[in-house]
Structure 1
Amino acid sequence: MKIVIINSGSSSIKYQLIDMPANEVICSGMIDRIGLATSNLTYVTNAVKVEEALPVANHKIGLEKIAQLLMDDEIGVIKSTAEIDAVGHRVVHGGSAFSNTVIITAAVKDKIRQLFELAPLHNPANLEGIIVAEEIFSGATQVAVFDTAFHQTIPVVAHKYAIPNYLLTENKIRVYGFHGTSHKYVSENAIHYLKQNLVTESSKIVTIHLGNGCSMTAIKDGKSVDHTLGFGPMNGLIMGTRSGDVDQSVIFYMVNTLGYSLEAVNTLLQKQSGMLGLTGYSDLRDIEANAENGNVECQLALAMNAYRIKKYIGSYTAVLNGLDAIIFTAGIGENSSYIRKLVCTDMDYFGIKLDESKNEIRSRTIREINTEDSKTKILVIPTNEEIEIANQVFELLTT
């Protein structure tokens, strides 16, 4: 079964063509920096690698470019879209309507659209990917895999807010959690690694997903028990353009005293805050480069970013009553030795000791970057949300 996986993020599109059940990746690539002056495109097969810098204004243009490459006469990997059996889509917010992977229907698309307000940077891009894929791969079954599904195991003591009960029972306001496909994939790999290396049979781990969107999950014996993102993908860690945790009083002050509209506050917190608001840059590569050149604002923003991650490591160690490993993953987590060093410095009390030379090594495989005497493992595990999505799509369509 040939499955195209489309993972439309807030500023990127990752894609893979996977032959299942062999998990054979026929083609892969991504487009990042969507909406900026210059975007980067990669397209990789066993025979060719294409890298191109070009403007990609939005996700629709990006997906059309990807489809052209897949069917290119010289470097393409399919002759016709009829060769594609299914298209698996990552969808960020499933609300209370979706706790499992589903075949996409008109009703499913309507529900994803209704949830735009809860994930305004993601669900619109996810739905656009679905609509464009339906046009391009018209004979394929379209399937949605929801980020929120993995976090359905979060207990009520952690997922319920301290607001009137009817808001949960009637309006389904609760912690949903996000980046579930990534946290599920890397945690399963981490648990396998820990057991292989005779570290522990049970497991208490914290997964740290750092990209343009960021989140952390406390995972006990493979199940999500707490998570930094909540009702929408906005709180918790400092992100590319999102503020993360902020005192609710700030919102009322901005509206009632400073004269902001609610829409303006929402836009500010979702799209103009985070690292962008602190530095003027939303891409961490730009922020790190300026920090190394002495930019004080960028240096402070990176320190704030790491400080917030440290706070959650501490709180989740308490929730888990111990800690076997922390896992860094996603674009920043896998590639930024700078952030990893900031996070792991002065964390000896938690048994976290970073080996600085190992921290500088780059690899596409799971690796330890802790010292030999570190009580807690520090793992870098490349996430592969696309393989996780393919597995779930294949399971849905064959069982």
Structure 2
Amino acid sequence: MQSERQVVLICNAGSSSLKLAACDVGRDDFSVRWQNSCDGSARELREFLATELRQLEPVQAVLHRIVHAGLVSEIPQRLDGDALARIAHWAPMAPLHNPLALQLIAEIAQQWPQVSQFAVFDSGLYAQLPPVAAHFALPKSLSPRWPLRRYGFHGLAHRSQWRGVQQLSVAAGLPAPRRFISVQLGSGCSMTTWRDDQVIDTTMSFSPLDGLVMATRAGSIDPGIPLHLLGNEGMTVDELTTVLTEHSGLAALSGGDGDMRSVLAAGTAESEAAVAFYCQQGRKALGAAIAVLGGVDAISIGGGVGEHQPRIREMLLAGLEELGVTLDVERNRKASGMTSLHADSSRSQIWLTPVNETAEMICQYQTMRQTLRESR
């Protein structure tokens, strides 16, 4: 019914970016009325939001992507006092994301106090990880306030990729893949392993620092390194946090800002070594995921780097032919949008799947509203 339609503002904040979209949302459809984005510091993003809000008519609801709130589900949650306290509590585990999200929520509440705001959780996809993937080999008594487990991140992006591959497989007349790996390569990077429609493993864990090499985050490192820096090099916890979140990864390897476009354009021995290291770590993670699955039926690649850098896709997948993964090099170089990348001889499908987090956030909001209607 027309009366059930809402205008919903999507507020998707990353560590250094903010994407806004005003959408007309019905029961099972939506259209984008307006969208804009900004890259910059936290202060610049707050100022951008404040400016845009002054020019927009108030909406019926606002959806925020929340990176870390502990063990949560894929059901959006109204941002009341308890929810805000939970996000603040988990901010030390996501220092680049949660504090900014709270500031943006407060800005909207100040300008539109009557508008309902909801959290859509980026880690909700991983709430049902099997114990063999969810836990660490550490004493259970440690850190009761922030329980130690694999929470996983980039859930909205990985769910978007999963939905995209389901649709692409049907359109191509192929069976839906049962053993599936989604690869998200952007400023942050992660990989998620699926069996049927269930996530069974992922590379990010307790915090968004773990897993693959990223723009300014190192990914998985020897735990002895931070212990050494704290105990023997006199580094403070705050200094170490800054190094691990802002000055590691590609930025440390290449001597730049960590932007893959700059690294590839540099063409120096240092930048080429950084790219090789980045891709080898990703290839190792792919091999591990294939081993967990006992083979792979489909791989999808998305994210800013994954979508726009064919050379990275080629290097990432190089040498996996014996595992049934064969890239069509020419198709890969010309690829754009949702499309296949696999060679005709490949036993595994390979898909380029641009991520649509806006659509995924709205889909979860629609599901929540439908559940509420059915419970009345």
Conserved 8 A contact 2:73-2:125: no
Q: 2:229–2:235: 8 Å Cα contact kept in structure 1?
A: yes
Equivalent residue for 1:307, pick from 272, 280, 284: 280
- Give the Cα separation in 2 of the matches to 1:237 and 1:66: 35
Structure 1 residues 1-399: aligned runs within 5 Å: 1-21=6-26, 22-32=29-39, 34-35=40-41, 57-68=43-54, 71=55, 80-81=57-58, 84-96=59-71, 100-167=75-142, 171-279=146-254, 280-291=256-267, 295-364=268-337, 366-398=338-370, 399=372
- Pairwise CA RMSD: 1.9
Deviations 1:298-327, CA, capped at 9 Å, x for gaps: 111111111111011100011111201111
1:48 paired residue number: none
**Pair 343,202 (structure 1): closer, same or farther in 2 beyond 3 Å:** closer
Asked if the contact 1:119–1:233 (Cα under 8 Å) also holds between the matched residues in 2, the reply is yes
Superposed CA offset, 1:75-122 (max 9, x none): xxx5x22xx111000000020366632010122112111111111111
Deviations 1:269-310, CA, capped at 9 Å, x for gaps = 11110111112222111111112xxx1111111111111110
CA apart distance, 1:363: 2.9
Deviations 1:114-141 (A, max 9, x none): 1111111111122122112222333321
Counterpart-to-counterpart distance in 1, 2:52 and 2:216: 26
Correspondence for 1:38? none
CA contact (8 A) 1:188 1:222 kept: no
Report the alpha carbon displacement of residue 368 of structure 1 after superposing the two structures with TM.
Answer: 0.6
Q: CA deviation at 1:393?
A: 2.1
Q: Helix, strand or coil for the counterpart of 1:5?
A: strand
**Alpha-carbon distance in structure 2 between the residues aligned to 1:100 and 1:23:** 18
The structure-2 alpha-carbon separation of the partners of 1:240 and 1:91, relative to structure 1 and needing over 3 Å to count, comes to same
* Closer/same/farther in 2, CA of residues 170 and 67 from structure 1, 3 Å limit: closer
Give, in whole Å, the separation in 2 of the partners of 1:354 and 1:98: 35
Hey, what's the Cα distance between the residues in 1 that align with 2:302 and 2:283? 16
Corresponding letter in the other structure for 1:8: A
- State the one-letter code of the partner of 2:349: K
The answer to which of 307-316 and 184-193 deviates more is 184-193
Query: Contact 1:186 / 1:382 at 8 angstroms: preserved in 2?
Result: yes
Instruction: State the identity %.
Output: 28
Deviation at 1:197, TM superposition (A): 3.0
Instruction: Kindly indicate whether the alpha-carbon contact (under 8 Å) linking 2:60 and 2:116 is maintained by their aligned counterparts in 1.
Output: yes
**Shift in Å, 1:362:** 4.7
Contact 1:160 1:168 in 2 (8 A): no
| C-alpha deviation, 1:247, in angstroms | 0.1
Residues in 2 aligned to 1:349 and 1:153: alpha-carbon distance in whole angstroms? 32
Does structure 1 retain, via aligned residues, the 8 Å contact 2:13–2:97?
yes
Q: 1:304 to 1:339 in 2, by over 3 A?
A: same
Distance 2:312 2:336 in 1: 17
Q: 1:202 Cα deviation (Å)? A: 5.0
Number of residue pairs matched by the alignment: 363
Q: Which runs of 5+ in 2 are unaligned?
A: 1-5
Taking a change above 3 Å as real, the CA distance of residues 353 and 307 of structure 1, as seen in their structure-2 partners, is same
Could you tell me which residue of structure 2 aligns to residue 53 of structure 1?
Answer: none
TM-score (norm 1): 0.86
Name the SS for the 2:252 alignment partner: helix
C-alpha distance in 2 between matches for 1:392 and 1:20: 12
TM-score w.r.t. length of structure 2: 0.91
Structure 1: gaps of 5 or more residues: 36-55, 72-77
Q: Is the 8 A contact 2:75 2:364 kept in 1?
A: no
Q: 1:103 to 1:170 in 2, by over 3 A?
A: closer
Q: Does the 8 Å CA contact 2:335/2:341 hold for their aligned counterparts?
A: no
CA displacement 1:256-275 (0-9 Å, x = unmatched): 22221222222211111011
For 1:299 and 1:311, the matched residues in 2 are separated by: 18
Alpha-carbon displacement from aligned partner over 1:130-161 (angstroms, at most 9, x marks no partner): 11222233332101001111011210111110
Deviates more, 1:299-308 or 1:389-398: 389-398
